[in-house]
Structure 1
Amino acid sequence: MTRIFKVTTLFLLVGASVFAQKKVTVDEIYTGAFRTKGMDELSSMKKTNQYTVLNLDRNSRRSQIDLYDFATLKKVATVLDTKDHKELQSIDSYSFDASEKKILIATNSNPIYRHSFTADFYLFDIASKQLSKVLEAAQEPTFSPDGTKIAYGKENNLFIYDIASKTSKQITSDGKKNAVINGITDWVYEEEFAFVRAFDWSADSKKVAFIRFDETDVPEFTMTVFHKELYPKEEKFKYPKAGEKNAIVSLHLYDVASAATKNVNLGNYSDFYIARLKWTNDANILSAQVLNRHQSNLDLIFVDGNSGAAKVVLNEKDKAYVDVTDNLTFLKDNSFIWTSENDGFNHIYVYDKSGKLKNQVTKGKWEVTAYYGFDEKNKTIFYQSVENGSINRDVYSIGLDGKNKKRLSSQTGTNNATTFSPNFDFYINSFSSATEPTVFTLRESKSGKEVQKIADNVALTDKLKAYELPTKEFFVLKTGKGQELNAWMIKPKNFDASKKYPVFMYQYSGPGSQEVGNHWLSANDYWFMMLSQQGYITVCVDGRGTGFKGAAFKKVTQNNLGKFEVEDQIDAAKVIGSYPYVDKTRIGIFGWSYGGFMSSNCILKGADTFKMAIAVAPVTNWRFYDSVYTERYLTTPQENASGYDENSPINFVSNLKGKFLLIHGTADDNVHVQNSMQMIEALVQANKQFDMAIYPDKNHGIYGGKTRIQLFNKMTDYILQNL
C-alpha cells in the first residue's frame, strides 16, 4: 500500500491585485495551475560526462531528448526531436543501450496497474538517425549488455528481439491471463514489492533469468466496470487476500545460444517470495532474494548460471519483518554493498563475495534514507540520511571503510542527489523546504560546493506573495502518555491567539511512512492553506509506526495495526484541544487509504474527541486487503485473528457520534470498494447516519477529468458545514 494523496508539487499563478490577499481555490490546485519547474526524465550517461533530459512542449506536444555537459550545464546537442520523425507522436520514456549508441523509446503507453504498462517501442540509432518501430503493446523491454538483443514481456510470455535480424523469438509459451505469468510480476508483487520486470540479463548477454508466477490457485477478484455501456462489464484479476493462496513462484535460467531453459532449485522453501532478482558482476552468478511468507527471514542466494546450484550467502532475520530494497550493489570483485536495520537503524554494510561481513559503513541513531552509488576510483559511497533531524534530508559521502564522512549539503530541508556524473565528480542536487520551493544546483561531489544553479522557483515565491499564505510550523508534540511525535501546524495568516479555532487533522500513519517532512508544499498543503484562509487550523502528527526514527519506533505496531497509531492521533487531538486558541469541540480528521482506515477508527474509537471525519478509499477490515502487505505486519488472519478484528473500524460502528463522510472509487484495484460497501452495511445495521460518495470507474487515486475538483470541493463543503 502506498500513499495516494501526495501530488506533484505545484506553483500558483497570480492575477489579482497584490494589495489584497488572494484566495486559493480547489480549481487552481487541481487544474495544473500549481507546477514547479523540474527536470523530466533526466538520465546520466555512462560513457561520457554528460546527461540527457526529456524536454516537452506541452502546447505542441513536441518532445526532444537533449544532451547536456555536466561540467558546464550547457546543451551539447539534441539527440532526438519528434518533429523530425512524424511517426513518433510522443516520447513517454526512453533508455540507452550499454554503448549509448541506441535508444529504446516508449510511446502510446497504456497503464495496467500502479507501475505496469504496455507501450509501443521504437529503436533509434543515434549515428544514422534511423528510427524503426520494433515492438507493439510490449512490457519492460531491456537491452542485453552487448546491445544486440532486447528481452521483453508480452501477453504473459517472454520474448527476445534480435536487432540485426529484426526478428523476435519466444522464450516461454505457457503464459495465460489469470493463470501463468513469465518474467512480469503479478498484481501483489507489483504493488507491494514495487517492481514489474521479473527478468534480468547476465553480464555476458548469454542468459536471461526470470521468475514464473503460477496464479492458477490464487482467488480471483471481480470488479464491475460501468463506463457508459448498456450492460456493465466485469474485470477479473488474481488478488491474494490475507491468508489466501499466493502465486507459486519459480526461478528459471534461459540460455540464449541453446534456447534451453533450466529450472533453479532455490532450496527447501515453501510458500515463499522471490522479492528481487539480479545478476552479479560475475556473468555466471545470479543473485535472488527469497523471503518467507511472514517476511521475517530473508536469504540472499547466489545461483550458478551453468549448473543452477543455489547457496545462501547472507541471511537476515527480524522479529517483525525485513525490508526489501534496491540497494544491493556489486563491486568489481563481486563483494557487495547492502543496507540493513540490523543494529536498530537503517545503515550501510559491505560484505565480501562469499557473504562475510567486511564492515559496517555507517553507524548512529539515525537512518540512511537513500543509497546513491559507489565511486570505485575513490572508494567512496554516496548516500542520503536524516542525521540532521528526522524531518530533514542531507547528502553525504563516506569511505568504503567508514571513514572520512562529509556532509555535502548545506541547507536545512530536503536535499536529494538526483543524479551523479559517470565519473562521480559532480551531482545534481534538488533542495526544498517548507518555505523555499525546489532549487536544482550542480555541485562538486568531493566538497558539495555549488558550481552552478540549474533551475529555481524564485518567480513562484514572488507570485505567492499575493496569497499571503501562512507558514507551516514544525514542532514536537508530547502526548499524555509521554510519546514525543513529529508534527506540523498551519494557522490562519491573521491568527489571533485570543480566539478559538476549529482544527482539521490530516495523517497517513502507515508503517514506515512520513507526512511531517521539511520540504516544499504539495497539493494537500495548498488545500490546507485554503482552509486556513477560511479560519481553520490544520495539524499533522506522525505517530508511532511511521518511519525514519529507528526500527523500534516503526515496528511497535507489529501484529496490532491501528492500535498505537489510533491512540497517538486521539492523544494528540486531546493535547491540541488543550491549547488556549483551539475549540476542542471542533476537531476533525481526514485520511486517504491507510489514512482513511485511521480516520475511520479515530471517529469511532475517539468518538468524544473528534466531531467529524473524512475517509477516502479506506481499508475497513484487513481481511479484505492483500497478502503481502497485510501479513508483513499482522501475519495471517488464521494466526492473529484479534490483530485483524480489534482494530478494524467495521467492528466499531456502534460508537459513531460525529459526522462521517466515506468516499471510494468503484474501480479501485488496490483497496477494493468492498471495504466501503461492508462498512456501509455495518453502519446501516447499527442505525447510524453517515454520508458517502462513490466514484464510478475511478481507481485508488480517484482522478480523471473534473473528478479531483469535484471531490475536493465536496470535502471542503463538508468541512465548512460540519466542523
Structure 2
Amino acid sequence: MWYKVRASKDRYEFHLVDYKTGKKEPLFDREKLTAALAEIGAAKLKLDELSPDQFHLSEDRMSLKFPWNNQTLIYNRLDHSVSIAKPDKATAFQLEDSQPVHFQARKENPWKAYKEGTKLILEDREKKEKFELGSDDKETYYSGPYLFSPDFTKLVCVRVKLGEKHDVTVIESSPRTQLQPKVRILENYRKPGDAITILKPRLFDLATKKEIPISDKLFENPYDFEDRTLSWNSDSSQFTFEYNQRGHQVYRVLSVDAKTGAVRAIVNEETKTFFEYSGKKYIHWYDNKQKLLWMSERSGWNHLYRIDASTGSVLNPVTQGNWVVRSIVRTDDEKGQIWLNVGGIYPEQDPYYLHQIRVNYDGTGLVKLTEGDGSHFVTYSPDRKYILDRYSRVDMAPKTELRDAETGKLISVLETADDSDLKRMGWRSPERFVAKGRDGQTDIYGVVYRPMNFDPSKKYPVIENIYAGPQGAFVPKIFRAYDRKAEYAELGFIVVQIDGMGTSFRSKAFHDVCWKNLGDAGFPDRILWLKALAEKYPQVDLTRVGIFGGSAGGQNALGALLRHPDFYKVAVADCGCHDNRMDKIWWNELWMGWPVGKEYEEASNVVNAHKLQGKLLLTVGEIDSNVDPASTMQVVNALIKANKDFDMIVVPGGNHGVGETPYMNRRRMDFFVRHLLGVEPRAN
C-alpha cells in the first residue's frame, strides 16, 4: 500500500508500506524525481497535488506510473529516471474454439398484476385474459409490490386504506423570485395522533383466482409497511414480512403459509417502552432463509441473536455482555462470521468509543480487531487480510496502525499525527470529563472547552451546547483541530457538551429514561455533572450558566429555563420542536408513545411557557420543513399571554437550522456575552 501524509505546513510525503512486515519507505526520492521531471520538461508538475490513487505501482515495485499533461509518466525506482509511456494500442482478439456458455433458464412469469382504480387486476400474458381479484372497496385499494411466488402459483400484494391527510402551510415572506409572499405546502406532514395510512399484505391463489384469507391478529395495527421486508422463500412455501406496531412497542418478523394463510411469528419483540426500529433494527437471513441474525435489546444491551426461522427459537446469542453493538460492517455466510462496530467492549475506556470485532454466528471466536484508547475507523485491504486502523480522541491526535485482519495483531504504527504546531499557537484540546449521574452509579461523559488565554485565577461563566435527541449520542469523540464550541470559549466562557440519560448507545435502562419523558432531557445528570466539574475546578461559575441548541436541542434549551431556572439563567433555542404534538409523527411517537397521552402536555414548552425565568432568545426559519415553525410561534403566543419578556428572531426564507448561519451564530454569541458576561457586544 502507499499513502500521502502532510509532513509540514507546505510539504507532503508519500510512503510505501509492505503489509506483511509493516516496513515503510519513501514511494519515491523527491529530489531525484524532481530533477528527472525537469530533464523531460515536466518541471511544472507539482507532486504534492497528486493523490495516492493517481500512482500505479508495478507488481515488482520497481516502477511507478502517474499522470501529467494528458500523458503517463513512468518513474524508475532504481535509477530514478523518468520516461513518457507510449500510448497503449487497442488489442483486437478473437475467441477461438470457445465453448458455449450455458445459463440456467428461469421460468418466465406468465402473469401480470396491476391496479385499476381500486381493483386488483391479474392478466394472463399468453392468453391476454384479465381477471379481477379481491373485492371492490372504495375506501381501500390494492398496491404493489406485486410479488409472485417463485413457482408463479401465488401472488402477494398490499391492501391500502388511506389515512388522514395532514399538510402544513407556511408563508415565505421574501421569496427571491417575486415581490409578493409565497405560500408553501409541506405535504403529508403527519403528526402524533393523526390517523395514518394502513397497509396490510394480501395473498391470492392464481389457479383458483381467489384470495387466501390471512388473519391479521399478529399485525392488526401497523405503523407502516416496508415493502422491502416482503419476500418469498425460494420453495414458494411461505412469505415473510416485518410488522412494526403503532406505538413502537411491538415489532415482529412474520411468516405466512402460502397454502393455508396461517401466520406465525418468527421474531416477536415486545417491550414496555420502545423498540428502536429506526436505529437498532437489523435482520440478516441466511441458509436459504432457514436462519436469521436479529438485533435486540432484550438482554438490556444491544446485541445480535441467531434464530431458527422454522421454530422462532433463539439458537444462541451472537454477542453478549455489558457493551453494545453499534453497526454491522460485513457478514460472511460461508464462514459463518460477522464483523461489527461496537461500543464499551473495553470496560476501562469511554463506552462511546467505536471498536471493531469479528465473531462467529454461533457466538464463538470473538476477536477484537482494534484496541487503542480512542474511537476507531477501519479500512480493509482488497484481500481483507490487513486493516488500517485510524483512531483518535478529542485530546489525542489521530494514530494510524496496520493490523492483521485475522487476529487483530499490530504489525506497525504507520503514522501519529503531530499537533505541536497547534499547541504552540495556544490551542487547547477539549478535556474529557466524567461524573456520576442521578443514580449515583452511572458514569456520564462530556467534554470541556476553555479559552486559549484561560486564567486559573478567574471565574468563568458556563455555556452548555445541548442536543438530547434519543436517537443518538452527541458528545464529540474524535480529534478536531477546530470545533465551534471552542469559538464560544474564546469569548470568555467555559463551554461543555454532555450526554445525559435518555440518549443512545448505552444500556437499555439508560436509554429508557426518555420514554414518554422528553422534557427530562437528561438534566438531572447534566446538572450533577456540572456541579462535579465546578467542585474540581473552582474557575467554573455555576451562578452564570447558559445553554443553547437547535431542533430537539432547541426544545431542550428552552426546557432548561422552564424546568431548572435555579440553575440555567440564559438560553438560545433555535427551531425547537417545543411541543411534541406539533412535530413529525415518527420521531415523536417513537419516544413519547401512542396514543397521545398526558405525557405530551407535560413535556410541552408551550404548556409550561408561563414558568419562564431568565433570558431567552428564540430563533426560527419561517419556512422550516423539518419542524413546523408554528411550534415556535405557539411558544411566543404563550409567553405573551403570560406577560414574559423574551427576544426573538424570525429568519425570512430560513429553513431548519438557521441558528447555524453566520448571522445567527453571531447574534447568539452576542446574547451570551450580554447576559452572562455583562458586556455590551461591539457593534458591527
Q: Which amino acid aligns with 1:501?
A: Y
Give the alignment of 1:494-573 within 5 angstroms.
494-521=453-480, 526-563=483-520, 565-573=522-530
Choose from 156, 168, 174 the match for 1:221. Answer: 168
SS of the aligned residue for 1:623 comes to coil
Choose from 406, 409, 429 the match for 1:446. Answer: 406
Alpha-carbon spacing, 1:457–1:575, altered in 2? closer, same or farther (3 Å): closer
Matched residue, 2:670? 717
Q: How far is the alpha carbon of 1:711 from its aligned partner? A: 2.2
Give the alignment of 1:13-412 within 5 angstroms.
215-226=162-173, 227-228=175-176, 229=178, 230-251=180-201, 265=214, 267-268=216-217, 269-274=219-224, 276=226, 277-278=228-229, 282-283=233-234, 284=236, 286-303=239-256, 310-324=263-277, 325-334=280-289, 335-354=291-310, 355-386=312-343, 387-388=345-346, 389-412=350-373
Give the distance between the partners of 2:565 and 2:322, measured in 1 at CA: 37
Give the distance between the partners of 1:249 and 1:669, measured in 2 at CA: 26
Alpha-carbon spacing, 1:236–1:599, altered in 2? closer, same or farther (3 Å): closer
Give the distance between the partners of 1:358 and 1:720, measured in 2 at CA: 60
Q: Which amino acid aligns with 1:535?
A: G
Matched, 1:591 2:542: no
TM-score with structure 2 setting the length? 0.69
Give the distance between the partners of 1:416 and 1:204, measured in 2 at CA: 45
Matched residue, 2:391? 431
Matched, 1:659 2:612: no
Q: Which amino acid aligns with 2:592?
A: L
Cα offsets for 1:50-92 (capped at 9, x unmatched): xxxxxxxxxxxxxxx99999x99999999xxxx9xxxxxxxxx
Q: How far is the alpha carbon of 1:635 from its aligned partner? A: 2.3
Cα offsets for 1:316-358 (capped at 9, x unmatched): 1111011224521112342111111111101111012322211
8 Å CA contact 1:395, 1:407 repeated in 2:
yes
8 Å CA contact 1:246, 1:627 repeated in 2:
no
SS of the aligned residue for 2:558 comes to helix
Give the distance between the partners of 2:639 and 2:295, measured in 1 at CA: 45
8 Å CA contact 2:501, 2:510 repeated in 1:
yes
Alpha-carbon spacing, 1:417–1:207, altered in 2? closer, same or farther (3 Å): farther
8 Å CA contact 1:432, 1:519 repeated in 2:
yes
Cα offsets for 1:443-468 (capped at 9, x unmatched): 542123467999x8948x47645653
Q: Give structure 1 stretches of 5+ with no counterpart.
A: 1-11, 17-64, 84-126, 129-145, 150-178, 184-197
Matched residue, 1:472? 430
Q: Which amino acid aligns with 1:327?
A: Y
8 Å CA contact 1:66, 1:75 repeated in 2:
no
8 Å CA contact 1:441, 1:450 repeated in 2:
yes
Alpha-carbon spacing, 1:599–1:279, altered in 2? closer, same or farther (3 Å): same
Q: How far is the alpha carbon of 1:405 from its aligned partner? A: 1.4
Matched, 1:675 2:631: yes
Cα offsets for 1:507-566 (capped at 9, x unmatched): 2122252123522339xx611111222221111221111122200111023222213623
RMSD: 4.6
Alpha-carbon spacing, 1:559–1:204, altered in 2? closer, same or farther (3 Å): same
SS of the aligned residue for 1:240 comes to coil
SS of the aligned residue for 2:670 comes to helix
Give the distance between the partners of 2:210 and 2:56, measured in 1 at CA: 43
Q: How far is the alpha carbon of 1:301 from its aligned partner? A: 1.4
Larger deviation, residues 343-352 vs 318-327: 318-327
Alpha-carbon spacing, 1:263–1:518, altered in 2? closer, same or farther (3 Å): farther
Alpha-carbon spacing, 1:304–1:560, altered in 2? closer, same or farther (3 Å): same
Q: How far is the alpha carbon of 1:407 from its aligned partner? A: 0.9
Q: Which amino acid aligns with 1:719?
A: F
Give the distance between the partners of 1:420 and 1:209, measured in 2 at CA: 43
Matched residue, 2:583? 625
Q: How far is the alpha carbon of 1:380 from its aligned partner? A: 2.0
Cα offsets for 1:479-515 (capped at 9, x unmatched): 5763642222112234333211111111212225212
Cα offsets for 1:586-624 (capped at 9, x unmatched): 110111211111110111222222221111111111121
Alpha-carbon spacing, 1:571–1:326, altered in 2? closer, same or farther (3 Å): closer
Q: How far is the alpha carbon of 1:722 from its aligned partner? A: 1.9
Q: Which amino acid aligns with 2:555?
A: F
Alpha-carbon spacing, 1:479–1:327, altered in 2? closer, same or farther (3 Å): closer
Give the distance between the partners of 2:381 and 2:158, measured in 1 at CA: 31
8 Å CA contact 1:373, 1:381 repeated in 2:
yes
Cα offsets for 1:398-453 (capped at 9, x unmatched): 222222211101322111346685x7545565533214566777754212346799
Alpha-carbon spacing, 1:714–1:471, altered in 2? closer, same or farther (3 Å): same
Alpha-carbon spacing, 1:616–1:637, altered in 2? closer, same or farther (3 Å): farther
Give the distance between the partners of 1:73 and 1:699, measured in 2 at CA: 54
Alpha-carbon spacing, 1:718–1:520, altered in 2? closer, same or farther (3 Å): same
Choose from 478, 490, 495 the match for 2:449. Answer: 490
SS of the aligned residue for 1:651 comes to coil
SS of the aligned residue for 2:610 comes to helix
8 Å CA contact 1:469, 1:529 repeated in 2:
no
Matched residue, 1:176? none
Alpha-carbon spacing, 1:419–1:586, altered in 2? closer, same or farther (3 Å): same
Give the number of the structure with larger relative contact order, counting CA–CA contacts within 8 Å between residues 6 or more apart: 1
Give the distance between the partners of 2:561 and 2:505, measured in 1 at CA: 27
Matched residue, 2:117? none
Alpha-carbon spacing, 1:582–1:436, altered in 2? closer, same or farther (3 Å): closer
Larger deviation, residues 234-243 vs 206-215: 206-215
% identity of equivalent residues: 25
